[in-house]
Amino acid sequence: MLSSDVFNRKKLHGPEISLPTYSTLIGIVLSWGFLINWIIVRYVDGGFIYNNMPPIIFFILYFASCIYGVFLFNTSTDPSISFIGYNFVVLPFGLIVDIVIGAYAPGTVIHAIQTTAIMTFVMMAFGSLLPGLFKGINATLGLSLLAVIIAEMILIFVFGQQIGLIDWIVALIFCGYIGYDWGRALEIPRTVDNAIDSAAAIYMDIVNLFLRVLRILGSRKR
């Protein structure tokens, strides 16, 4: 439901831009998403919203916004529409981040941000310098993520256990997705719309990685 098909695009829609401009635009769009997340964390009480809204309503609105956002940037070739779709993804993700980080000490959150940033830049560098390293591993990444999610659900809901190793495995998988998606972003037609859509897909990888890193670091403090 939340997967992007931007990296399968072959046709050129709109004028092509230079690689430095294209890469910079991806970075700007990513930075915009993280700025919105920071504003939400700074000024919105996500815990209050979650605690005063029926959980089923909260998650329906969350998934509806994400799915609509992904639909917009997946199907549109208009950069302005794609950017609107991106924001429909950024807002609910930011609210989830706001709710989650409330359970952790500020130092742990900062450490998680720093760790995620380092891991992201490293994987993007690998994706740029060694794009062949990530080709052909999409199915492996997807199946690995599905397997660990199923295992984690069984451990939590059947056995009442949580194993920290699973968090590391998921974090590593999302690292792989960042490198994989960045490498693919550099191979599709370099248009403004594709830069926005690529940033949206990579943004979701980075936020998921951050939440796992935060959980790993937070468990160490307890």
pTM above 0.85, yes or no: no
pLDDT tens for 131-158 read 666 665 655 565 555 555 665 666 566 6
Please give the Cα distance from 156 to 161 (Å, whole number). Answer: 5
Give the closest residue to 121 by CA, choosing from 48, 49, 178. 178
- The pLDDT tens digits for 5-15 are 676 777 777 78
Cα 211 to Cα 164: distance, rounded to the nearest angstrom: 13
**pLDDT 10s digits, 71-126:** 998 888 899 999 999 999 999 999 999 999 888 888 888 878 887 888 788 777 87
Residue-range domain boundaries for the chain:
17-221
Q: Is the pLDDT of residue 34 over 90?
A: yes
Q: Is the pLDDT of residue 128 over 60?
A: yes
Range with the poorest average pLDDT among 115-129, 130-144, 155-169, 183-197: 130-144
